[in-house]
Amino acid sequence: MTGEGVFIWSDDAKYEGQFSHDNRHGRGTQYYSNGEKYTGNWINDTITGEGVYIWPHGDKYEGWFNSGNRHGRGTHHFLNGDNYTGDWINDTRTGEGIFTWFDGGKYEGQFITGNRHGQGTQLYLNGDNYTGDWINDVRMGYGVLIWPNGEKYEGQFSVNNKHGRGTQLYSDGSNYTGDWVNDTRTGQGVFVWGTHTKWAGDKYEGQFKENKMHGRGTYHYAEGKNYIGDWINNTMTGEGMFTWPNGEMYEGQFSAGNRHGRGTQLYSDGSNYTGDWMNDTRTGQGVFVWGTQTKWAGDKYE
């Protein structure tokens, strides 16, 4: 058979189009017994070239084929309303492309075997926007994630989570630069409180655990006070040193943010106390020496 013709199989499949030496070759339409339909180019009895393939459940592909597979540039319309336009290799989304979800989500970038893989930008239904590295359909590597409220993270990701080194800008003006583990501030970092918080201008440099100051760290207060020492669950607990702008200093033990345990306090009038503390008060055994700027200069109580 060579030229134009119609061939009907025993299972009611049918081909209408061009033939060459008994093969479907050229332009033609194939109606399959399972309800599928292809209209387009054929080479030596295989779907090769440009065409349109329609599935009975409603999916539709328009684009290039090679040996029966979607291969080259093409658009696949899914029954549920999803769409993909881009590169195909051996029937899989591989290369550059755009995938649009029926609910409004959109990805533009690189694919491998149907997955987001390589560089790409994802617009999420909730307004989030991610641009960066992907591996096997998850955010993995370096990227930038922006939230609708203006928050922004730039840094490393692992399995969709902030993980590694990165910087987070918060909607209240605060910012954090440092280590992340599974979407939490964990490790070494610097946190600066923003202008829309009651701690505006304060700064912490040190260790974090699950978003809390935990371990060794330094807290700089906007009004000039400073604490260097141990932290547990966001509170000064353990050994540390606290200094005031007027020159006063405490060095010793803390608990829940208070001077508590053994410690030494140097006062602005030159006095000093070494001994026990309880809940920020001198309580227990200790030695107090009055300073040169007091009327009891040189007096001492033990």
Closest by CA position to 250, among listed 207, 222, 286: 286
- Tell whether 74 and 108 lie within a shared domain: yes
- Tell whether 283 and 156 lie within a shared domain: yes
Range of the domain at 61: 1-66
Domain-terminating residue out of 10, 33, 66? 66
φ and ψ at residue 28, rounded to 5 degrees:
-175, 165
**Cβ proximity of 227 and 239 under 8 Å:** no
Which pLDDT tens digit goes with each residue over 180-216?
Answer: 999 999 999 999 999 999 999 999 999 999 999 999 9
- Tell whether 43 and 190 lie within a shared domain: no
CA distance 201 to 174: 9
Which pLDDT tens digit goes with each residue over 133-178?
Answer: 999 999 999 999 999 999 999 999 999 999 999 999 999 999 999 9
Longest dimension (CA), the chain: 122
- Tell whether 15 and 145 lie within a shared domain: no
**pTM value?**
0.90
Q: Which CATH number covers residue 44?
A: 2.20.110.10
Q: Which CATH number covers residue 293?
A: 2.60.450.20
H or E stretch at 96: strand 92-100
Assign 47 to helix, strand or coil.
Answer: strand
Q: Residue 55: pLDDT band by 50, 70, 90 thresholds?
A: very high
Q: What is the mean pLDDT of the chain?
A: 97
Domain-terminating residue out of 66, 84, 106? 66
pLDDT at 52 over 70: yes
SS (H, E, C) 154-179: EEEEECCEEEEEEEEECCCCCEEEEE
**Cβ proximity of 27 and 16 under 8 Å:** no
How many Cβ atoms from other residues are within 10 Å of residue 265's Cβ?
Answer: 20
CA distance 226 to 244: 7
Mean pLDDT of 206-229: 99
Closest by CA position to 60, among listed 83, 27, 91: 83
- Tell whether 204 and 184 lie within a shared domain: yes
- Tell whether 28 and 150 lie within a shared domain: no
Closest by CA position to 82, among listed 58, 108, 103: 103
Which pLDDT tens digit goes with each residue over 82-116?
Answer: 999 999 999 999 999 999 999 999 999 999 999 99
**Structural domains of the chain, count:** 2
Mean pLDDT of 224-243: 99
Helices (H) and strands (E) in the chain, counts: 0, 26
Closest by CA position to 181, among listed 203, 205, 155, 210: 210
pLDDT at position 223, please? 96
Displacement of CA 27 from its chain's centroid (Å)? 49
- Tell whether 203 and 92 lie within a shared domain: yes
- Tell whether 213 and 253 lie within a shared domain: yes
- Tell whether 144 and 257 lie within a shared domain: yes
Residues of the chain above pLDDT 70, percent: 99
- Tell whether 146 and 119 lie within a shared domain: yes
- Tell whether 165 and 234 lie within a shared domain: yes
pLDDT at position 292, please? 79
H or E stretch at 257: none
- Tell whether 120 and 61 lie within a shared domain: no
How many Cβ atoms from other residues are within 10 Å of residue 198's Cβ?
Answer: 6
Residues of the chain above pLDDT 90, percent: 96
Closest by CA position to 251, among listed 261, 241, 243, 262: 241
Domain-terminating residue out of 66, 90, 107? 66
pLDDT at 269 over 70: yes
Mean pLDDT of 249-270: 98
pLDDT at position 299, please? 64
Lowest mean per-residue pLDDT among 141-145, 276-280, 289-293: 289-293
